[in-house]
Each structure stands twice: as C-alpha cells, then as structure tokens.
Structure 1
Amino acid sequence: MKGKKDYNYFEAFVDLSKFSLKSAEILNKTLREFDIKKLEEKIREMHNIEHSADIAKHDMLNRLVKEFLPPIEREDITSLSQKIDDVTDAIEDVLMGIDIFNVQSIRPEILKFTEMIVDCCKSMDVALAEFQNFKKSKRLHSEVVEINRLEEEGDALYISGVRNLYKTTKDPIELMVWTEIFRRLEKCCDACEDVANDIENIVMKNS
C-alpha cells in the first residue's frame, strides 16, 4: 500500500482500472469455456476482484478527505473513481445474471460482446495510464475516442443481438433471460464510456 506522502491519485485510478480489466478477462474466459460446474468458483473469483476494487476505492476516498491539496478537484477524483468502480460492478452483474437465470449454454453472439468489453477495458486502462500526463500525452485523446467507438459498437451488438434473439426464439423465458443479459452487457460498454467522458471533462477543466 502506498504511504501517505507518496500516494498518487493518478496511479490509483490505474490500479482501479486493472480490477475492471481483470473482471472483463474472467467474464470472457468463463463464457468462452462455459462449464456450469465451474460457474460458482468463477463467481467467487469475480466477487473477490470486485471487493478488492471497493477497498481500493474507499482507501482513495479516505485519503482524499485528509488531502490538503489534491492534484485535481476533489469532486473529480470522487466521480472518476466511482465511475471506474461502476465498470467492475457492471461486469460482475453479467456473470451474476448468467447464474441467477440458470443459463445452461452461451449464445455465440455473446462472445463477441465479451471480447469487445475486454478491448474497452484495455483502452480505458491505457487512457488512465496516460491521464497523469494529460497536458503532454499524445495518446490520451485517441484512447478516449476508441472507447467511444467501442461503446457505439456495443450498441450495434446489442441491437443486432436482441433482434436476432426475437427472430429465432419463441420461448418467453429464454427471451426474457437473454434480453436482460444483453442489457447488462451493453451497460458495461456504457460504464466504460462514462469513464472516458469523465476523463475528457477533467482534462478540459484543467487545460
């Protein structure tokens, strides 16, 4: 754990984003190699990551309360840390939905979504790594744009996935289950875009 004097909020943002990326990778691998017998174990693994992310976020906010002069405005640190945490929570919600709705097999189009969420979290991680040097970074803007592009791709996957679902499935329970899972997947992309928007707003305020 970082000592009080050398605590770096920008590095702490990156640490939080690592939890999101790890969650996305677990989700993608779990659904790609789906085994109902291993689902409970994967849910525990995911929850441990989410819990660790919460602890890291609370540590940051506890330090912020005592901080004399933070590097950016307090409300921006609070908002960005919460939005990064929201990404991790949204990813966990997808796996929880798979469990709650007793899903027995994974629709192929779902895997395109989970791969794209991994890509989105990777771009978010790079953007946050660049964020500390936002006045000089040549890469930050392109990563924010990439997150926005991936969110639009997520919207398209959501629309095509749900449309195909209603074209090929008549069972009302199956329709309900997969509509909700598609919604949760799209929420992951929206959460990543919220982080990108926060970064962009903070850069504008401090430029």
Structure 2
Amino acid sequence: MASNRDFNYFKAFVELSGYSLKAAEILNNNLHNFNVNTIEEKVKEMHNVEHTADLEKHKVMNRLVKEFLPPIEREDIISITENIDDVIDSIEDVLIGIEIYNVQAIRPEIIKFTELIMNCCKSMNSALVEFEHFKKSKTLHDAIVEVNRLEEEGDALYINGVRNLYKTSKDPIELMVWTEIYRLLEKCCDSCEEVANNIENIVMKNS
C-alpha cells in the first residue's frame, strides 16, 4: 500500500495547473471561432474541466489532512492549490459571461487577451514544473518574472480595450457587457500572477 510519502505535492500542483491550460485553450479556440449557437455546449465543456480540477484539488486537500510531514508548510500547500484553482475558475467565468450576456459577436481585440491568457497559463505551468527543484533551478525565477510581465501586458490590454470601447460606443448595454468581460479577462491574468507571487514567497521562506 502506498504511503503518504509517495504523494508528490509539487507534481500535483503541475497536474492541477494543466487544467488551466485546457481551460485557456477552450476559451481561446471558442472565441477565435465564435458561434453563438454552440456557446451553451462549450460552457458545459469548460465546466467539465473546472469540475475535474475541483476533484483534483480535493484530492490534494484530503491527502494533506493525513500528511505527517509535508515538504512545505501546510498553509502554503493550501494557498497555492487554491490559487491555481482560482485561475481555472476565472477562465471559466469569461466563457460564462459571454453566454449569460448573450454576446452575438466577439470584438477583435478580445482575441489578443485570450492568447495572452494562454501564455500566462503556460508560464505559470513552467514555474510550477520548476518549483519542486526551487533550491537548484536556474529557470524558476525567469518563469515567475515572465508571468509578472504578461500580467502587466494584460493590464495594458484592459486599459486600452476599455478606453477604446467607450470611444467607439454609446450603447449602454454594450458598454456594460464588454466592460464586465474585460474585467473578467484581466482577472485571469491577475490570478496567474497570484500563483507566481505565491511561489516566490514560498521559495523565500524556504531558502
């Protein structure tokens, strides 16, 4: 029978972040090839990814309850697991927003944002892959810095996108809908940065 020591929390973080990559890919593909007639089906596909990720998160938490001596502090394992889960939830929220606001067409500049979110998730995943070897890794710092850089790029896309929105439209419903969707998109990048910052803080505490 496998013991608790056989469970690798760092690999569990990487597996969990893999669901963020799947979610980001679903979001990007669906907004690239937007079809209002299939959005409900795509939201269900996204929710299946989010739900599976939730199950994986609970496995980590259940294992931690029984863990005698975790590799890093319990609260750090909990916080980084929840941070990764927040990324997945944030990505799902964008697609849900597209559906509930009955969006009929995607603004072209939105695609830049979904591609950026994919890159954020990839860099976050790279950081988590290196996290297990944080005492020796030569690339972990660069991956963290890249997530921070991409989040700043997301801030710029948000500011420029909302500014352009209010310059080109006077329709109150359109303004409300797209302002909210831009906010949801920015939150995805912010959530990735939370993971990166958390990794950096944990490394500092354990170095």
Normalising by the smaller structure, the TM-score range is over 0.9
Could you list the per-position Cα deviations for residues 16-52 of structure 1 after superposition, in whole angstroms to 9, with x for gaps in the alignment?
A: 1000111001000000000111111111110000001
Question: For 1:50-89, what aligned pairs fall within 5 Å after superposition?
Answer: 50-89=50-89
Could you tell me which residue of structure 2 aligns to residue 22 of structure 1? 22
Please report how far the alpha carbon of residue 3 of structure 1 lies from its aligned counterpart in structure 2 after TM superposition. Answer: 6.9
Q: CA RMSD in A?
A: 0.9
Which AA in structure 2 matches 1:13? F
Which AA in structure 1 matches 2:196? A
Aligned equivalents of 1:109, 1:102: Cα separation in 2: 18
Could you tell me which residue of structure 2 aligns to residue 37 of structure 1? 37
Which AA in structure 2 matches 1:83? N
Match of 2:38, SS state, is helix
Please report how far the alpha carbon of residue 170 of structure 1 lies from its aligned counterpart in structure 2 after TM superposition. Answer: 0.7
Could you list the per-position Cα deviations for residues 94-139 of structure 1 after superposition, in whole angstroms to 9, with x for gaps in the alignment?
A: 0000000000000001000000000000000010000000011111
Match of 1:78, SS state, is helix
Match of 1:68, SS state, is coil
TM-score by length of 1: 0.98
Aligned equivalents of 1:135, 1:22: Cα separation in 2: 29
Please report how far the alpha carbon of residue 5 of structure 1 lies from its aligned counterpart in structure 2 after TM superposition. Answer: 4.4
Runs (4 or more) in structure 1 with deviation over 2 Å come to: 2-5
Could you list the per-position Cα deviations for residues 74-102 of structure 1 after superposition, in whole angstroms to 9, with x for gaps in the alignment?
A: 00000000000000000000000000000
Could you tell me which residue of structure 2 aligns to residue 8 of structure 1? 8
Aligned equivalents of 1:169, 1:68: Cα separation in 2: 58
Aligned equivalents of 1:145, 1:6: Cα separation in 2: 31
Could you tell me which residue of structure 1 aligns to residue 121 of structure 2? 121
Unaligned runs of 5+ in 2: none
Could you tell me which residue of structure 2 aligns to residue 190 of structure 1? 190
Which AA in structure 1 matches 2:171? D
Which AA in structure 2 matches 1:170? K
Please report how far the alpha carbon of residue 6 of structure 1 lies from its aligned counterpart in structure 2 after TM superposition. Answer: 1.7
CA distance change for structure 1 residues 127 and 24 in 2, over 3 Å: closer, same or farther? same
Match of 1:37, SS state, is coil
